[in-house]
């Protein structure tokens, strides 16, 4: 599984987000790979309507219908066509009790949860909340040029022991098919990445290469 987090990159906002999501769809269809996109809340409905791959939110709040100005309502993500959400990204960290409540609200809406953790140990501590996936990303490598699989392969091995391969995603600096392949060989189910795709001159070529790395 490959999940591209569009974050707030200009190349992955508004019309460009739709264009980039369509490229992900093309590559998913051509390769058969499980490729998903995590888009900004304001882009989610449009992308979900136009693209036939799983579309995730980057965040939800543990709120319900009613008051709560500016929060992201899990029901609205669902109604807009979203199938899941990232939670507790290193750029949007949550208090433990907020994370627990957010996972619960996601589950009530049938949304898949991808909970980020900065270390394997922290990731393992989230198992009690039973998220669908735990994405371990060393914060210092996020947005950088060196993949976690090269800089700290032991983190992936350790995470797979503590969390188990079925739930484990890893990320930070993942850029190409070799990185993906190494992550999978070290025990991850898939990768979460951003800049390798959002900053690429030719995102389709990068995604084709990344998808090739899923075949181990
Ligand atoms: O959510 C994925 C992200 O934090 C990794 O970012 O740019 O290192 O692939 P990047």
Residue in 2, 3, 5 to alter for ligand 1 test, most ligand atoms within 8 A of Cβ: 5
Indicate if ligand 1 lies below 6 Å from the C-beta of 172: yes
Indicate if ligand 1 lies below 6 Å from the C-beta of 177: no
Name residues whose C-beta falls within 8 Å of residue 139's C-beta, 6 or more positions apart in sequence: 90, 118, 172
H or E segment and range at residue 189: none
What class is the 2-212 domain?
A: alpha beta
Tens of pLDDT, residues 55-79: 999 999 999 999 999 999 999 999 9
Residue 130, sorted as left (phi over 0), alpha (psi -120 to 50) or beta, turns out to be left
Q: 142: CA distance to ligand 1 center in Å?
A: 5
Tens of pLDDT, residues 184-199: 999 999 999 999 999 9
User: Where does the chain show beta strands of DSSP type E?
Assistant: 2-5, 35-39, 55-57, 84-87, 112-117, 133-136, 168-171, 190-193
Q: Where are the domains of the chain?
A: 2-212
pTM surpassing 0.95? yes
């Amino acid at each position: 599984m490959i999940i591209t987090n569009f974050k707030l990159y200009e190349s992955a906002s508004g019309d460009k987000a739709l264009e980039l999501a369509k490229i992900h769809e093309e590559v998913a269809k051509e390769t058969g790979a499980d490729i998903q996109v995590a888009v900004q809340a304001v882009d989610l409905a449009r992308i979900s309507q136009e693209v036939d791959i799983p579309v995730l939110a980057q965040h939800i709040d543990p709120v319900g219908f009613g008051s709560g100005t500016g929060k992201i309502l899990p029901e609205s993500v669902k109604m807009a066509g979203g199938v899941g959400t990232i939670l507790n990204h290193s750029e949007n960290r949550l208090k433990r009790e907020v994370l627990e409540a957010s996972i619960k609200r996601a589950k009530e809406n049938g949304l898949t949860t991808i909970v980020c953790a900065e270390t394997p140990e922290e990731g393992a501590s989230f198992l009690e909340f039973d998220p669908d996936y735990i994405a371990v990303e060393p914060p210092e490598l996020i947005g950088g040029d060196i993949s976690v699989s090269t800089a700290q392969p032991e983190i992936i091995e350790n995470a797979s022991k503590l969390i188990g391969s079925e739930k484990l995603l890893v990320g930070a600096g993942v850029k190409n098919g070799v990185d993906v392949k190494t992550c999978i060989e070290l025990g991850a189910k898939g990768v979460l990445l951003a800049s390798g795709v959002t900053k690429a001159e030719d995102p389709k070529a990068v995604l084709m290469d990344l998808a090739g790395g899923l075949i181990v």
